[in-house]
Amino acid sequence: MSNIDQNTQDRVKELREQLNLHAHHYYVLDQPKISDQEYDILYRELQTLEDTYPELITDDSPTQRVGDQILEGFTKVAHSQPMYSLDNAFNEAEVGAFVERVKKQLDEPVSFLCECKIDGLAIALTYENGQLVRGATRGDGTVGEDITTSLRTIKSIPLRLTDSISAEIRGEAYMPKAVFRELNAERDEQGLVPLANPRNAAAGGLRQLDPKEVAKRQLSAFMYGAVYNDEFQPDSQENLFETLNDLGLRTNSLRRLCETTEEILSFIDEIAELRQELPYEIDGVVIKVNSIEQQDTLGYTVRAPRWATAYKFKAEVATTTVKEVEWTVGRTGVVTPTAIMDPVTLAGSVVQRATLHNVDFIESLDVRIGDSVQIHKAGDIIPEIISVNTDQRDEKSVPLEIPTHCPICQSELVRLNEEVAIRCVNPLCPAQKLALISHFTSRNAMNIVGIGEKVIAKLLSADLVKDIAGLYYLEESDFLQLPSTKEKSAAKYYQAIQTSKEQSLERLLFGLGIRHVGAKAARLIAQQFKSIQNIMDATPEAIEAIEGIGPMISQSIVQYFEDDEAKALIGRLDQADVNLNYLGQSVEDIESQDTYWSGKTVVLTGTMEQYTRSEAKKILEGKGATVTGSVSKKTDILVAGESAGSKLTKAQDLGIEIFDEAQFIELI
């Protein structure tokens, strides 16, 4: 190494140590300290230096290993064949170079199957005579962790195949975006640290020792590979997917057989446009030689197959400036900080607010007023500050002042049971009352259209309501006492409240704001007990007997209804003729109610709160509509949820009728 300067040697050593540390945080601890894009930049620098100076390559270099060390405490499983990583392509030129390299090495016609790169946790499923006998993580690529019990809780993984074959199937476990949002909302309500992204949430879920806790994560999985044997020998990647489907395994339908670089790039562009609307996270497109025989000919390097590469989407990061930090009080008293920033476009929408989660998060970032910061959408969903440009910080800058008293009622804030959250525990706090009534009127609860936070604040200020039951004792004339409220608005408010009296029990139960009781738990409990009185009389054991309901939820419900004020509240709702029973309205019931959508061509875009895309599609098709994936002149209606992107813009340009989620729900 005498001809290699010391600076180069030191840089290689530094890169090796940094990458190994970050790999440990990412793969072992599931607590990444840098973004995937930042990691890739460091990796490529090390790879370039090692290509130039092979003498500097060491056995512990990240370029010479498939993965990283597994966690201690899990049973180790040796993979029958290594689970390799994939080389990456970051631009069109690198995709083209991969295609040309493959064609040159094979010197014969070749096609490529392009698949979505699911951002989850790689898994290997071993089936013997058609029965699932073992499930494992990727681990270091050679040895993984036995997580069979955890994987058995994933409903998309069959416990028995449709054919009694023996094979090892490989794929990706992941957490749907909607589940991630719901889980973080519950953690926020409980004062727990929010999960960083769906991938970490899935990985952490599978490492839970209690299968009930794993089941709560509502994970799913896509299968995309296998270890071939005499019983299981598809001749192409395309045939592999067909065979997996025939065996009862779930695969991702977003894939395409391509012959040229241009066709591959066209598919990548389509997926990139669709990315924000998918119900799961992807971070790129995997490009594989389709023929298994040609895959065998090309073989492997020490860490990756030569017959595949992964095109990685650029991480969408924006830079903006923090103008102020707003502290808000939720319905359970948790005081949450939110950064107010200069508006900036990120992932197809204008972002001006970003969560700061809690005091610990603020202190770890040391974010301050006036700071230049980088933001992204955690899990492509939640705007979040990921780094602070401290080199641009004003020298007069001071750390953020953490409140010690409630910003609304001035009561002293506390931390309960070592929570990271700070709370206002004053039960008479006006902010908690406002948040609770706003929650009660929200779409997923009683869906009282038009009665939002501003109207509720006016009602509270005028002392017209004191709790959620008070809404049902309002007269139309009461709304005319509110500032800037005309007769037409007053009539709409009053009618919306009257209409909400007929909502089913699960909405009421969720709307009560009982701690830990989310929309899904409320639905399961309402389906089981049928009436509010039955729920009030239920024991913790009876509630916990419902699949998916644990002791935290059951205890919370029992404690809530033991309170005399809660009993009185239910009594007032009953006297106001609010429905207190489960109506059991199913998707099928909804589908048969009208034919407004009959014959119309509809496109769904963005994220909805009340329905998944598949549920909305099923409802529309049941009403006679045709649901397509792209906007054209033939499109009659675009239903746009949150974070709607290019499809919304195109629909606006074409003059197509556009409904938001509230209008969609009203019409169905």
Active site residues: 117
Q: Do 71 and 144 touch, CB atoms closer than 8 A?
A: no
C-alpha of 443 from chain center: 20
Q: Do 144 and 76 touch, CB atoms closer than 8 A?
A: yes
DSSP state of 601: E
C-alpha of 397 from chain center: 35
Any idea what the Cα angle at residue 127 is, between residues 123 and 128, rounded to 5°?
155
- The Cα–Cα gap between 346 and 356 comes to 17
- Reduced to 3 states (helix: H, G, I; strand: E, B; else coil), residue 602 is strand
Q: Which residues contact 8 (CB under 8 A, 6 or more apart)?
A: 49, 53, 56
Tokens found for residue 372: 């230049």
* DSSP H stretches of helix in 217-352: 237-246, 261-274, 292-298
Q: How many CA atoms lie within 13 A of 504 on its CB side?
A: 16
Q: How would you class 235 by CB atoms within 10 Å of its CB: exposed for 0-12, middle for 13-18, buried for 19 or more?
A: exposed
- The Cα–Cα gap between 132 and 267 comes to 34
CB atoms within 10 A of CB 143: 18
CB atoms within 10 A of CB 26: 20
H or E element: which one contains 131?
strand 131-137
H or E element: which one contains 12?
helix 6-23
CA distances to 11, 23, 40, 98, 360 from 50, rounded to whole Å, are 11, 19, 15, 20, 39
Q: Do 611 and 629 touch, CB atoms closer than 8 A?
A: no
